[in-house]
Amino acid sequence: MNSSSTIKSSVLIVGAGPVGLTLALDLASRGIDVTIAECRPAHDPPSARCNQVSARSMEIFRRLGISAELRAIGLPADFPNDVVSCTTVTGIELSRVPIPARGERSTATGGPDTWWPTPEHTHRINQTFFDPVLFARAAAEPRVRILNQAMVEDFAQSDDGVAAAVRDLDTGEEISIECAYLVGCDGARSMVRKSIGARFEGTPELQRVQSTHIRAPSLLSLIPGRPAWMYFALNPRRCGVIMAIDGRETWTIHNYLYRGESDFDSVDRDWAIRMIIGAGPDFQYQVIAREDWFARRLVADRFRDRRAFICGDAAHLWVPSGGYGMNAGIADAANLSWMIAATLNGWAPPAILDAYESERRPVIDRVSRLIAEVAEKVMLHRREVTADIERPDAAGEAARLSIGRAAYELDIKQQCCGGLNFGYSYAGSPIIAYDGSSPPPYSMRDFTPSTVPGCRTPHLWLADGRSLYDALGPEFTLIRTDPGVPVSRLVGAASERGVPLTVLDLDAPDARSLYAENLVLVRPDQHVAWRGDQEPPSPVKLIDTVRGS
């Protein structure tokens, strides 16, 4: 490779989208130096697509010390996060899923998701607010170097590392970046995915959606009753979704094209927007951006080739029903980060990295199917909307009741996805010490917290008022519910192998209902690695298992 300058970095991340930035921050928090190459200019306005940061992602951001800053921005603090189904946005309300506004998110009770056992509830915030915070945090982190206008064109792997050819789009100069590991967080068209020979499998097109980001200062005043964050409009003319972006004047509208409408422009955009809103010719709005998209279900057949990995949209794409694409990518990043850091910090062999694909790919595949299943039901529901829904008589009332009931079930499934947040567990991993128990089943909405190895460590509030997650150590933590149980051999084994381990005596009301075993070994990504009532017969063997040796 002929290059005029060379940069050395432990990890090269391709792409500074939300997944790449999260991975960089997580790696940096574990002492790893990172370079991110991003082909867009710095401060390029992000797309307005993404509107939901899941509770689990917020837990990850809490660990990284960003959640409070993110929670402070987005919609106005008192703007309801409710999800409404209606005939049109300005028409008749059919059902409403009550979701607390940002300002009362941590204190509200009685809602369908307020009971979730988490220190960080879902945050409904648009990407235009969210991405700049991640970018600024990464840019301020001394261990992270961000190269903007830097296109990764190619890379080659050897036994010792990866050399990437990067084009400086300002000067045309070629830069060589030499790193130990390369992670493609480079989105749907991922160059890294193609380079490692991975192929997307699944359904390339479930639907086309005409999507428009608009400014409409008068819309809020036209909406009857209490406003909502999201509206699903159901009427025989045009079904669609509208979401509040800033809670004042900006909105995103999705017009779901029907079979036969095979081109994004096959339906008049302005007409569709007016039909979804229920607005006449006097209604004024301005188009900020067109962001048309395909609904798909695609999962890469592999997530890794030796020293190169893929995360986020580079590895999987699906319908935003449930608002979970980026969140799944953030979970990929949290999973991969500690394993890469463990190898670079010298306390795990490279074999630990085999766990990334074996843990994440089955979860991703299952999640992609759950989401596609609900998306198909939503599509069917839209297709079946009868003209009766707008009749001002008893037949209309009956239609609205029945469609509203079905809509509520679909809306709650998509917007209160407890299972997607907390339900999945890592089965078949080479670095988890299973004990023969099956993890509890989960669906898109339902989950059961559990200490079965592979599950997310169940959250509870400690007697001193702290979140359990704030009391965990930075890497492995041994949670002990009975302080009389000896742990010195396990602690000694971790020390012998150089594995950072914190012991935490659990002082929390009702801890035993969640933590039946005396000891639970928690990984750096807050998943359970092992549990038992006493130290295992061979603590060194256990430590070797969980560090991939």
Ligand X SMILES: Cc1cc2nc3c(=O)[nH]c(=O)nc-3n(C[C@H](O)[C@H](O)[C@H](O)COP(=O)(O)OP(=O)(O)OC[C@H]3O[C@@H](n4cnc5c(N)ncnc54)[C@H](O)[C@@H]3O)c2cc1C
Q: What residues make contact with ligand X under the rule CB under 6 A?
A: 14-20, 37-40, 49-52, 151-152, 185-187, 191, 211, 293, 312-313, 320, 323-327, 329
Smallest gap from residue 444 Cβ to ligand X (A): 14
Q: Nearer Cβ to ligand X, position 46 or 100?
A: 46
Beta-bridged to residue 467, according to DSSP, are 461
Q: Nearer Cβ to ligand X, position 37 or 223?
A: 37
Report how far apart the first and last C-alpha atoms of the chain are (Å, whole number). Answer: 35
Alpha carbons 454 and 431: distance in angstroms, whole number: 10
Q: Nearer Cβ to ligand X, position 240 or 312?
A: 312
Q: Nearer Cβ to ligand X, position 111 or 329?
A: 329
Beta-bridged to residue 254, according to DSSP, are 211, 241
Q: Nearer Cβ to ligand X, position 19 or 198?
A: 19
Is residue 69 classed as helix, strand or coil in its secondary structure?
helix
Give the type of residue at 164. Answer: A
Q: Nearer Cβ to ligand X, position 92 or 164?
A: 164
Smallest gap from residue 363 Cβ to ligand X (A): 15
Smallest gap from residue 216 Cβ to ligand X (A): 18
Smallest gap from residue 274 Cβ to ligand X (A): 20
Q: Nearer Cβ to ligand X, position 15 or 454?
A: 15
The dihedral over CA atoms of 260, 265, 268, 269, expressed in degrees to the nearest 10, equals 120
Smallest gap from residue 325 Cβ to ligand X (A): 3
Q: Nearer Cβ to ligand X, position 327 or 457?
A: 327
Smallest gap from residue 308 Cβ to ligand X (A): 13
3-state helix, strand, coil in the chain (%, to 5): 30, 25, 45
Smallest gap from residue 22 Cβ to ligand X (A): 8
Q: Nearer Cβ to ligand X, position 326 or 355?
A: 326
Alpha carbons 221 and 151: distance in angstroms, whole number: 45
Q: Cα-flanking dihedrals φ and ψ of residue 331, to 5°?
A: -65, -35
Q: Nearer Cβ to ligand X, position 15 or 536?
A: 15
Beta-strand pair 162-168/174-184? antiparallel
Q: Nearer Cβ to ligand X, position 41 or 430?
A: 41
Smallest gap from residue 16 Cβ to ligand X (A): 6
Smallest gap from residue 88 Cβ to ligand X (A): 20
The residues, ordered by sequence, that sit 6+ positions from 435 with a Cβ below 8 Å of its Cβ are: 452, 453, 530, 531, 532
| Region of 312 on the Ramachandran plot (φ > 0 left; ψ -120 to 50 alpha; else beta) | left
Q: Which two tokens stand for residue 271?
A: 């007409």
Alpha carbons 10 and 36: distance in angstroms, whole number: 11
Q: Which two tokens stand for residue 60?
A: 């990850």
Q: Nearer Cβ to ligand X, position 179 or 529?
A: 179
Smallest gap from residue 295 Cβ to ligand X (A): 8
Alpha carbons 543 and 549: distance in angstroms, whole number: 8
Smallest gap from residue 235 Cβ to ligand X (A): 21
DSSP 466: -
Smallest gap from residue 188 Cβ to ligand X (A): 6
Contact criterion met (CB below 8 Å) for 133 and 70: yes
Residue showing the smallest CB distance to ligand X in the complex: 17
Smallest gap from residue 209 Cβ to ligand X (A): 7
Alpha carbons 96 and 385: distance in angstroms, whole number: 18
Alpha carbons 322 and 52: distance in angstroms, whole number: 9
Alpha carbons 55 and 64: distance in angstroms, whole number: 14
Beta-strand pair 501-505/476-480? parallel
Contact criterion met (CB below 8 Å) for 66 and 43: no
Any idea what the Cα angle at residue 291 is, between residues 310 and 256, rounded to 5°? 100
Q: Cα-flanking dihedrals φ and ψ of residue 167, to 5°?
A: -100, 125
Q: Nearer Cβ to ligand X, position 325 or 454?
A: 325
The residues, ordered by sequence, that sit 6+ positions from 339 with a Cβ below 8 Å of its Cβ are: 348, 352, 353, 355, 356, 548
